[in-house]
Structures are given as C-alpha cells and as structure tokens.
Amino acid sequence: MSKTIVINGKECAFDGNKTVLQIARDNGFYIPSLCYHPKLGPASKCRVCVVEVDGIRNLQTSCSLTATDGMIITTDSPRVLDAQRMVVNLLLANGNHNCMICERNGDCELQEAAYHLGIELPAFIVEEREDKDESGAFIVRDVNKCIQCGRCIEACNRLVVNEVLDFGFRGGHTQVVCDGNKPMGESTCVQCGECVQVCPVGALIEKKAIGKARSWEITKIRTTCPYCGVGCQQELHLKGDQIVRVKGVEGAKPNDGHLCVKGRYGYDFIYSKERLTTPLIKKNGKFEEATWDEALDLVADKFKQIIKESGPDAIACVSCARSTNEDSFYMQKLFRAAIGTNNIDHCART
C-alpha cells in the first residue's frame, strides 16, 4: 500500500522502504548532499542533507532517515538552511576550493550546494595546503579539495574490492591514503577510476582531461565500451569531436557506472595516425589499401580454395574477446553452418 510523507507542505506518495532524501529527489526537492551516493548508500557523515522532522528535536540526515507514513518534513526552514550553510561554509573554509580553475566547475556537488545555499565566499578561511599527488597514470589526487566524504573508499573496498584506498590519520588530519600512504602511482591501485567516478568534488580528477574542456562545453554521448564482450555502458564526454573523458553510466546494466582502466582511459587509440581505416592487402610483400569488397572476396576465395583442397577442418576460427556474445554466436554459426567445421575457439577461453 502506498504511503505518504509531507515535504514542505506537499504530499509525496511512496512505496516500500525509502529514505526521505530519495523521496525528496523523486519529487523534485533539492536537498544538498555530499557523502550520500545512490550506489554506496547513506553515510551520514557530511551532515549537509539535514531536514527538520515534526516531533524529533534534532535535525535529521535525510540520507539515512527511513520515511514512515505521515512523516512531516521541512527542508527549507531557517534552522535547516542555517545548519546546511554552516556545514558548506566549514568545508569551503578548509580547502582549496578554487572553482575558477577547477576541472569540476559546473559539475561539482559542493559548488552546487554552495550555489543553492547562497554562499558566495566562505565566511571564514583556514589556509592549509598540500601538494597534489600526480603520480597515478590517469588520476590526479588533490587532498586540498577532498571533503572526506569517503565515497572513493567505499567504492574501492566495497564495489571494486581492490582495497587500496582507506582513511588514514584522524580528526582534522584525516586523509584518504593509498596502501599505507604511498603515492597513488607507487601503490597497488590499478587506476580503474571508480573513485573518480563517485567523487563529488574536484579531489579526484582524470589527468588526461585537465585543461581540455569546461563542463558546459561538453556533449555527452552514451555508447557501449568496445573493449570486451561485457558491454559496459559508457558516457563519452566530447568537446567538438574529441573525447575529453569517459564516464560509466550510473544505474545502467551491466556495469552501473563501473569501468576498467582500459574502458575509462584507453580511448586515445581512436585518434592514432597508425590506426587502420581501410583493409590492406599484401601484394608483392607490401600492404596496399583495398576496398572491403576486394578484401572479403579475397578471404572468401582463399577459404573456398582451402576447403576444396584440404576439407573444412583445415580451417579454424578464434573469436576475439572484444566481441559481444552476439558476434561470437554469429562467428560459430558461420563456421559450423557455412564452412562446416567445429574448429571454434575464443581467445579468452583459458
């Protein structure tokens, strides 16, 4: 049976077990939140998603508050906004949140919260700066922008299970560390980039995207990763016709945002000058450009000739691991039905 809660006077119906934050989002209410990520669940750490609940004295974090029928919620009272403003101000106070040159400008959850709460400049500043960690092949870590939300750690330990990232130190010194505080490039990190995918701010960014495009210049194109048969869903960020970065598509099967190092960062090859753009046929010991018809005719003729001379079992096929299941199915169909052999294999079999 459908239940209802009231948010800022509006009745919001919901089914099943949902948090107040989820229902608020479903109904178009903006509540700033920084540590919560749908994929990782509530963390209740940033304390910015607080709301007022009738009958409860203290403000409650909406990300962890399970809605119950009849609950009355206020998200925009002076008390709520004061608390939210203080939290965001505190985060801005102790970090190098220079939106002007930040890669995440326009696509940053902290910036969005500050904007909605009307914070132009942090009310107080505490200056403490540390060097960026640029040792990773594809990821740059900027601890001055980190808000210790812990999303990257959860992602690394719980989703990817690589167990590289964790919190080190304590209190105001708390920092995300790799393998006992090693530079990322010297750690066991495989640069899958799941941490970058979930980072709400500019603390973890794609090295190759630096200085390439502002968020508003980006066109997003959804596609399927070409690397293997899993079929991970990607979102290409393009400026013009150039890929600036690749993101996984959150909430889409099969990868729910996750990509591997190749899928996320290995896109340069498409711009390689050495890339084959037409079939090549070797004539007199040298490759020469050919049309597809010429190339396929040549292959078909050779197959026919071999079958005639030595029978179909003289031919075998090895399907590529980058092929989808559907492609591999057609491959075996072609070899079994058209060519007539069971010599079929797949390079990822062993």
Partner 1 sequence: MDASIKKIIARYPDEKSAIMPVMQHLQRENKNFLNEDAMEEAARVIGCSKSKVYGVATYYTMFNTQPVGKFHLQVDTCVPGFLHGADAIVAHLEKKLGIKSGETTKDGMFTLNRVQDLGSCATGPVIQVNDRYFENMTIAKTDALIEALKSGKEPENDPSMTVISKCGILLNDRTQKDCRTIAFYKKNGGYQSLKKALTMKPADIIEEVKEAGVRGRGGAGFPAGMKWSFLPKNDSRPVYLICNADEGEPGTFKDRQIMEFNPHLVIEGIAISAYAINSKKAFIYIRGEFNWIADILDAAIEEAKKDGQLANVDIVVHRGGGSYVCGDETAQIESLEGKRGNPRVKPPFPANSGLYGCPTVVNNVETLSSIPFIIQNGAAGYKKFGNTNNFGPKIFGVSGHVNKPGIFEYPMGTPLKEILEASGGVKGKLKGVIVGGLSVAILTAQEAENLILDFDSCVKAGTALGSGGIMVVNDTVSIPELALRTIEFYHHESCGQCVPCREGSLVIEHKLHDLVHGKGKMEDIDLILHLTANIKGLTLCPTGEAFAVPIQAMVSKFRPEFEALVKR
Residues that bind partner 1 (CB under 8 A): 42-48, 50, 57-59, 61, 64, 82-83, 86-87, 90-91, 93-94, 123-124, 126, 147-148, 157, 163-174, 177-181
Distance of CA 275 to the CA centre of its chain: 27
φ, ψ dihedrals at 205, nearest 5°: -130, 160
Q: Which amino acid is at 60?
A: Q
The residue (of 114 and 225) whose beta carbon lies closer to partner 1 is 114
Residue 258 beta carbon to partner 1: minimum distance, rounded to whole angstroms: 19
Is the bond preceding residue 200 a cis peptide, omega within 30 degrees?
A: no
The residue (of 5 and 43) whose beta carbon lies closer to partner 1 is 43
Residue 305 beta carbon to partner 1: minimum distance, rounded to whole angstroms: 58
Residue 194 beta carbon to partner 1: minimum distance, rounded to whole angstroms: 15
Question: In angstroms, rounded to a whole number, what is the distance separating the alpha carbons of residues 73 and 328?
Answer: 54
Three-state SS at 268: helix
Strands of 154-196 (E only): list them. 165-168, 175-178
Count of Cβ atoms closer than 10 Å to residue 314 Cβ: 12
The residue (of 34 and 225) whose beta carbon lies closer to partner 1 is 34
The residue (of 79 and 220) whose beta carbon lies closer to partner 1 is 79
* Nearest by Cα to 196 from 241, 261, 251, 110: 261
Residue 292 beta carbon to partner 1: minimum distance, rounded to whole angstroms: 51
The residue (of 180 and 285) whose beta carbon lies closer to partner 1 is 180
Residue 166 beta carbon to partner 1: minimum distance, rounded to whole angstroms: 4
Q: Specify which residues 221 forms β-bridges with.
A: 236
